[in-house]
Chain A
Amino acid sequence: MRKQFKNTIMDLSLTDENIVMILGDVSVYLFNEFNTKYPDRFYNMGICENTLISVAAGLGSQGLTPFVHTIAPFITERSFEQIKLDFCYNGFGGNIVSCGASFDYAWDGATHHCYTDLAILRLLPGMEVLQPGSQKELDILLRSRYNNGKPTYFRLSDHPHDIDAPVEFGKGCVIKDSGADLTVVTAGPVLGNVLEACKDLNVNLIYFNTIKPIDRKIISQFKNTKMLVIHDAFGLYEALCAIPDLTVSYHGLPDEFCSWYGTLHDIREKIGLDVKSIKATINSKL
């Protein structure tokens, strides 16, 4: 998905001279081409995430379109106050693009895991929070939102799904409508596992790539069913909980640090987000 990020930026930059790349010593080689073509607008600015956000807000205040890009926990959890005040409260526009969220850096341990980013950023007034699940979703969402004058968060993944779902900012989509009493709700790359688990089950399945604003309209279509959020992060569940009169439960992160290493698949299996465990969880709700 990072390559798609670079490709989309390169394409947009052909006609948009306001794009400024600010990297936190991540993806520097990937953006060599941008650096070569637009050296005045490329900055591997430093491993100082708080300041990357503040500087980007300053650039945004003058009508430029900054992209701050680095590892998810450091640019969101560490820099939450800068995002809250320098971008959101001040009403300056810009883009924050993370990599390595959830367990993409499983082997690096809990210091590099990040599963609260969507949940904390959706609390900020004026913030747009996106979790594209595939390259296609990233490309469409990035093009549609990157220069709208608002702070927008794009959460990239190194493990995208390959499902061709409809993509529109702020819209969820119904992947499966079985007229069932249970509706599974998910977002982002974990859709791959969730869809596989739901394949032979009598459930509905709704998918999101926009966490904020959440698409209430599509949820309302299933408001009379029980809802089960299956997600490898926080944020989607809380977004549904904010909608009145729904019956919502959550299957995903445990209330403990994931102090194991290995791969994304190892962690998903451990916390019950592999296909088999998801299927068992859904069956227990039927």
Chain B
Amino acid sequence: MKQECKDIRREILKISNASGHGHIPTCFSIVEIMYAVYGRMNHDPKNPHWEGRDIFLLSKGHASLGHYSVLAKFGYFDIERVYSFGNFMSDFGCHADRFKVPGAEASTGSLGHGIGIAVGIALAFKLKKQDRKVFVVIGDGESNEGTVWEAIMVAVNLNLNNLTIIYDNNMSHGRGLQITGPADRFKAFGCHVWEVNGHDLGQLEDEIDQQSENVKVIVANTVKGYGCKTLVENQYEWHRKSPGDEELEKLLRELDEETV
């Protein structure tokens, strides 16, 4: 595991412990994905509204703590501010508010919304003849929502090859409505699809850089709670739980030892 990604996970654990709020496993599954996107896309953390920037949207908005930790790592704000996570007057809620968080391009949280907004932004860039890209992370559980597939149909029909959808295949869908063979489904919808190990930065970066003739989908096979054995083996218990002090020490130790 890359040290920066380990650092991001450490902050997620510590902030969850300090704040009493969680969603740790779903944050852990997309650390490398977000780190790779922000590492490759055009953006300026010191000027978040720079007009030439590419856009990243977290459609699975409940992984906001992971997003905040990545944004802080790239210099959008000091990670210390995120320790107020979920507090009454905090800028950093359990779902991001775009008016409060530098780098959050849309306020997401209700599943199946961010991808539609992303399609609109990608279309806007085409209309304005701007060479800018849009990246959106959707969850596999989120993809139970019909709007995800509506948005994909529209995007493919509009030939939005400036849109990259990264599908976090962390097996959340296994709890309920299952989406077997997601890569084939995206292909059937007309997307250009690449499938990668979602924790392999090199693979992610290679596919993020790929040119595509139509909507690009990266199916990122990930593990909820990746990095900590306890989280991976007890996903239901840890879905929204925050660790106490002793649990924090244990999870940090597991992370250091890369038990998964």
Contact = CB atoms under 8 A, between A and B. Distances in A.
Contacts of B118: 58
B150 interface: yes
Q: Number of contact residues on A: which range applies?
A: 20 to 34
B124 A57 contact: no
Contact of B116 (A41, A58, A63): A58
12 contacts: A43-B158, A48-B150, A50-B146, A51-B147, A54-B151, A55-B116, A58-B120, A62-B124, A81-B113, A86-B106, A86-B117, A89-B107
A64 B154 contact: no
B113 A54 contact: yes
Contacts of B147: 50-51, 54, 82
Contacts of A90: 98, 106-107, 117
Contact of A20 (B99, B127, B157): B127
A265 B105 CA distance: 48
B153 A85 contact: no
A205 to B, nearest CB: 42
A91 B110 CA distance: 16
Contact of B113 (A43, A61, A63, A85): A85
Given A57-B120, A62-B125, A82 B154 contact: no
A16 to B, nearest CB: 13
A262 interface: no
Contacts of A58: 116-124
B153 A48 contact: yes
Contacts of B119: 51, 54-55, 58
A41 B105 CA distance: 24
A40 interface: yes
Contacts of A82: 113, 116, 147
Nearest to B122: A58
Nearest to B108: A85
B116 A91 contact: no
B154 A48 contact: yes
A83 to B, nearest CB: 11
B99 A45 contact: no
B121 A45 contact: no
A41 B123 contact: no
A50 B117 contact: no
A62 B121 contact: yes
B110 A85 contact: yes
